[in-house]
Amino acid sequence: MSDIANPGENALLSNHPSNSLSQDEESPSKQASSQAAMWHRTRRNAMMRKYGDKIGPLERDSSSNALALSLLLISNASLFGLSLLSGRLPWQQVFLLALFPGSMFSLWIHGSLLDKRSNSFLGLKKSVATDRLMFWGSMPSAFGYYLYLKYGHLTHHKNLGDPSSASLKQLFESDRVDFEDGDVLFVSHRMKLKGEVGPAFQVGGRNVTMSISKAGFNSWKEGKLLRNVIAFAASFMYERMMLTIN
């Protein structure tokens, strides 16, 4: 939740263990990370030092390869079958199938690939097996997850909560191969983010800033569950459609 604008966050971060580290103790990767990311890393290291003998075996033995690969195979096969079926259906039925179960299978693909992105695949090197799995595993989905998982997700852990490293404006103007923080494009539909908003462009000689996610989130009203659900679904679906067309 460090992405949320919070007036008391700086005070909280000043007490984080990461801020007590001297410059000599920080590795280059830590120096390039946000304060919140450093705090999470420091806390994990402290937990591993204290409970490593209990946590280590759980991380090594609790492999989700079988479950993740099964869900990935089922989802890919189902989407492939639905795509063939859609060729014989009117667009209204195709739209309904895309809502359900198509969207469910798409999320299963994302979850399975995300799990493999963060962990080793069948004990093989991430750079080879994981990359190939992400590429071919995301093929049946119109909104491919491959580019996001390869270039945008891991930077989220490094730039967590730092508006100077990743904001909507920076992401839309970015020319980097490795995205500053791919998750910002998703979470902006459901929470207020720090930093400037984008994209910005000129219309009739005037600078205009427009954000689908910000417009959707600004229409939320406290206590209005149905209104908020509709606003979130509409803004998120519209932006996914625009990305797919793009």
Task: Report the b/e string of 4-16 with b at 16+ CB within 10 A.
Answer: eeeeebeeebeeb
Number of separate helices (H) and strands (E) present in the chain? 13, 2
pLDDT of residue 16: 39
Q: How far apart are CA 181 and CA 170, in angstroms?
A: 9
| pLDDT on residue 15 | 39
Contact 160, 40 (CB under 8 A): yes
Cα 29 from chain centre: 21
Residue 124: the pLDDT is 55
pTM, to two decimals:
0.64
What is the full per-residue pLDDT of the chain (246 aa) written as tens digits? 333 333 333 333 333 333 333 333 333 344 456 787 788 889 988 998 999 888 777 766 655 677 888 889 999 999 999 999 999 999 999 999 988 998 889 888 988 888 777 665 555 556 777 788 888 888 877 666 888 888 777 777 666 667 777 788 887 887 877 777 777 877 888 888 878 888 888 888 888 888 888 889 999 999 999 999 999 989 888 887 877 777
